[in-house]
Homo-oligomer: A and B are copies of this chain.
Amino acid sequence: MPSAPTRGPLMIIGGAEDKLRKRTILKDFVVASGGHDARIVVIPTASSLGPEIVEVYEALFTKLGAAEVTTARPESREDAHDPGLVELLEKATGIFMTGGNQLKLSGAICGTPFGEAIIDAHERGAVVAGTSAGASIQSSHMVAFGVGGATPKQRMTQVAAGLGLVSSTVIDQHFDQRNRYGRLLMIVAQSPQLLGIGVDEDTAAVVEDVDGHEVLRVTGRGSVTIFDPARMVSNAHEARRSAPLLASGVMLHVLPAGSAYDLTTRTLVPQAHEVDDTEAAEIAEAGRDLRQLARDIAASDVSPTNLRRRLARNRRRVTPDETPASDGGMA
């Protein structure tokens, strides 16, 4: 009996991912999808653009080495029942949802065979990625639309239902660039069981199953901001019209590339300690000196005065390729 398949990674991209230079995020997507064996399906339903949006992503994924890149573009709920489109998703190793209008995307696919096929692909191990609108739709509760601003105000944004690939969350994108602290805080103030996740442009929150935990890793140029309102005090039930909202006691995490957050336990994953090269060279040099000293002491009695002299001599000893260790450390 085969064991249950592991769910595939989710890539939640905050929009405007780099397409011209390093292309870190798009490259990661192709590699995670199988590289030269990748069968990628692009879903541009959210976009208001025509073939040009498809051409860009098809060209990029092909250039990055994918074996096969096709497009599935349901424009209506009718289209989203087309078995031909659903079949494309069933064969995919990677699915990429473009930016645009997330309500157009969710309105066309959520609760249809096409929408279910995206969820199934995730369950069987395929990569599901989306940028901007394609990021928002991955959460259980989706920001439909709203205004920018740092301060949360009643009615500044609307929530609709997303695909629910990440449960108990609301995801927002272009977070830094469009100043969306306020609207994401408004949503968690009204729904304190949700975790609010804001993703900056050219930044990805990569969610993977790690030993039964959902772990979110950050890659790219910006940060991922997380609001955990579990212990929050709010006046969301009684704030009037567009009044600023009370949201006191929200746990805030701002996570740059390289950091990771456990969505299951809602805690930061401790980071490996970064070693400073100069400091490491200095301490290695000191270690060599100390070992020499230990040998000297073992060989003969050394008076404290001689010991100090020897130490001073060792500190001055500089080989042609080295600068003195005492100059190399942090100020």
Contact = CB atoms under 8 A, between A and B. Distances in A.
A268 B198 CA distance: 25
A225 B259 contact: no
Contacts of A198: 150
Contact of A250 (B221, B233, B244, B253): B253
Given A181-B181, A268-B233, A200 B256 contact: no
A203 to B, nearest CB: 8
Given A252-B227, A252-B251, A150 B243 contact: no
Interface residues of A, number: 43
Contact of A271 (B235, B243, B257): B235
Contact of A256 (B223, B245, B256, B271): B245
A176 B200 contact: no
Contacts of A221: 244
A248 B276 CA distance: 22
Given A150-B175, A151-B254, A243-B256, 16 more contacts: A149-B176, A150-B150, A150-B225, A151-B225, A152-B223, A185-B254, A223-B245, A235-B256, A235-B271, A238-B274, A245-B254, A248-B255, A248-B259, A248-B268, A249-B253, A250-B254
B268 A244 contact: no
Nearest to A237: B330
A89 to B, nearest CB: 34
Q: Pick the 6 closest A-B CB pairs, nearest first.
A: A244-B256, A151-B176, A248-B253, A250-B252, A248-B268, A223-B244
Residue from A179, A225, A227, A251 with most neighbouring chain B CB atoms (10 Å): A179
A88 to B, nearest CB: 37
A246 interface: yes
A85 interface: no
Interface in A148-180: 149-152, 175-176, 179-180
A182 interface: yes
8 contacts: A152-B223, A179-B179, A181-B181, A235-B271, A246-B254, A246-B259, A249-B253, A249-B268
A230 interface: no
A175 B244 CA distance: 13
A115 interface: no
